[in-house]
Amino acid sequence: VQLQASGGGLVQAGGSLRLSCGASGRAFSRYSMGWFRQAPGKEREFVTAINWNGGVTKYLDSVKGRFTISRENAKNTVYLQMNSLKPEDTAVYYCAAAENGNYYGYAMDYWGKGTQVTVSS
């Protein structure tokens, strides 16, 4: 499975960005999908995840109410809508997939290369 994230960029605090992650292969609809981020000098952290059918989502506390994860299985794509962005959201954002459709965690099976999100104050 290959994952390709896009949609990152530079935005002012309070602004919005929408990240997309496209996946290859026919099994996308069975995977759980997640977004993680890594800021300079910090460890990678879990941001959000969605189960195989979109019925369950999980969020990092600091992004609840601002970020929304969604998926379109027909398009093999998962999205991350980020609103009310803060400078502390600045990081490289990675999408990841797990073959266990209900898994949420760091032991994802497949990782994309990441897209940079920079929020200026």
Q: What is the pLDDT of residues 39-89, one digit of tens each?
A: 999 999 999 999 999 999 999 999 999 999 999 999 999 999 999 999 999
- From CA 28, how far away is CA 88, in angstroms rounded? 31
Q: Which residues, 6 or more positions from 68, have their beta carbon under 8 angstroms from its beta carbon?
A: 80, 81, 83
Residue showing tokens 């992004």: 63
pLDDT value for 68: 98
- From CA 85, how far away is CA 113, in angstroms rounded? 22
> What is the tens place of the pLDDT at every residue in 4-36?
999 999 999 999 999 999 999 889 999 999 999
